[in-house]
Amino acid sequence: QVQLVESGGGLVQPGGSLRLSCVVSGSIFSIYNMAWYRQAPGKQRELVAAISRLGITEYIDSVEGRFTFSGNNAKKTGYLQMNNLNPEDTAVYYCHYDHNWGQGTQVTVSS
């Protein structure tokens, strides 16, 4: 059974950075085909970034150039480096992999 555990969220000022981690437990072949979603208060959950089975990353327009999705297969961990954060990035961020969701980690961008 696969379980996901996110970490790295917190409170940061506008323009700051955070790195989220998603550790996958259980037997997996690769951390590719993982995705990060976020859900802001009163809004639907949205896809933020994804890494395909071929290792190709894609991002929504609002984070392109600011967020970077990477992974370490040996550590079974995916990372979301978030730079130049703004208040619109405030949300609970979720990791998704193989039909499983993590518990989420809160990111708050505020001065």
The span from the CA of 24 to the CA of 110, in Å, is 30
The span from the CA of 18 to the CA of 38, in Å, is 14
Per-residue confidence in pLDDT tens, the chain, 111 aa: 889 999 999 999 999 999 999 999 987 778 788 999 999 999 999 999 999 888 899 999 999 999 999 998 889 999 999 999 999 999 999 999 989 999 999 999 999
| Alpha-carbon radius of gyration of the chain | 13
Measure CA of the first residue to CA of the last residue in the chain; give whole Å: 41
